[in-house]
Amino acid sequence: MAVGLTQPEALIPVAGVQLAATASGIKKNGKADVVLIQLAETSVSAAVFTRNQFCAAPVVIARRHIEMGMPRALLINAGNANAGTGKQGLRDAEQSCEWVAAALGCRASEVLPFSTGVIGEPLPMAKLQQGIQATSTSLSSDTWMQAATGVMTTDTVAKTVSRQFELNGNTITVSGFAKGSGMICPNMATMLAYVFTDAAVDKKFLATALASAVAKSFNAITIDGDTSTNDACVLTATGAAGNTPISADSNGKAFAACIEEVCTQLAQLVVRDGEGATKFITVDVQSALDIDEARQVAYTIAHSPLVKTAFFASDPNWGRILAAIGRAGVENLEIENVSVHLDDVCIISAGERDAAYSEAQGKRVMLQDDISIKVQLNRGDANAVIWTSDLSHEYVRINAEYRS
């Protein structure tokens, strides 16, 4: 039930990155579930992880390893989250890194592990080991789509984006893929996202560019208000393009803009493929006192089950939006200054139903697949945009049957 999605965008290979995917039997459907990515020795990486206090074992290990140095490999398994698995889960995540290190000739601390899937089940290590053995001997520079598909769980399509830009005569490539469809309200990133570039980039600036991009993309989406235990986003620059290293003072603006564009596109693809989604909704809160206030109002609207189910029904029940704004916790909100639009239709002006509004106008907008809600608080100059989806019968079915 993906909203406005077609076949995934073909990824442009990034020099210095080799990938492989295989079906090891971790997923019940028999599809690819282990992905291995090898990075050139010249690569530098930055990563952000979930802030969920029950973070998965691979998050703990990946965070520890990237603090020790630059990774040479990323290992991803789908179908099992290795979360809520205690000390054994940590040992299993470490063991998987040791297996990759032995296969690729690097240190275990140079491997970042990632998992996604069912929480609370032990990682099937024999199957994972077989997957590592298979992928380590089939790494290729042109298997990007297989890797993007191999990280999927309840996703209906792979999420892929590639962009290129010119830098002092060099063509710089940025390619990325992500997975995520449910348990999406990232407090750093989406469930799993990987972005690669062949540019040479200063390590410190790479982290800055990633943090900025994530704030405006993966941290601006929600499907169901649930932050995953396994969220992670990695940005790797291989340096294979041979350019003078990009930094804040050297071509930083163009590079950061490209990373932000790729991350934003990936984040929106996650929302469009939200579990059971039939609508893609942009919540745009304007003229708030500060960015936190704007985001608070936007997320209150986006998380409201009443608002989300009204969108699923294509019902212009604008009272639900009004109620969400009113309970968002904005201090001293002067409701007579608030206006609300559904796309081009003004439904609320001066805190009440607009005199020109009609039910037919609202219904016309609500029948669209892509809908925007614009809220003007008229309290300041801060704006925030959040992307979300509706809440359908299918969402309930998918999650009720998730472990079946």
Sheet holding 232-237, edge to edge: 44-49, 232-237, 192-197, 170-179, 159-167
Q: Which residue do the tokens 């000390």 mark?
A: 87
For helices 305-312 and 291-303, angle between their N-to-C axes, nearest 10 degrees: 60
- Cα-Cα-Cα-Cα dihedral sign, residues 305, 309, 314, 318: negative
Q: Which of 50, 190, 300, 388 is catalytic?
A: 190
For helices 318-326 and 305-312, angle between their N-to-C axes, nearest 10 degrees: 160
Q: Which residue do the tokens 């020109």 mark?
A: 356
DSSP letter assigned to residue 92:
H
Amino acid found at 358: S
Size (the chain), residues: 404
CA distance 242 to 210: 21
CA distance 175 to 155: 19
- Cα-Cα-Cα-Cα dihedral sign, residues 41, 45, 50, 53: positive
Extract the tokens encoding 184.
């999406």
Phi then psi for residue 44, to 5 deg, are: -125, 150
Annotation marks residue 171 as catalytic: no
Extract the tokens encoding 322.
């009004």
Phi then psi for residue 380, to 5 deg, are: -175, -155
Whether 196 contacts 14, CB under 8 Å: yes
**Is 237 in a helix, a strand, or coil?**
strand
CA distance 149 to 179: 9
Beta pairing partners, 140 = 19
**Is 249 in a helix, a strand, or coil?**
coil
Q: Which are the contacts of 102, defined by CB distance < 8 A and separation ≥ 6?
A: none
Helices (DSSP H) in 151-251: which residue ranges? 203-216
Q: Tell me which residues are annotated as active site.
A: 190
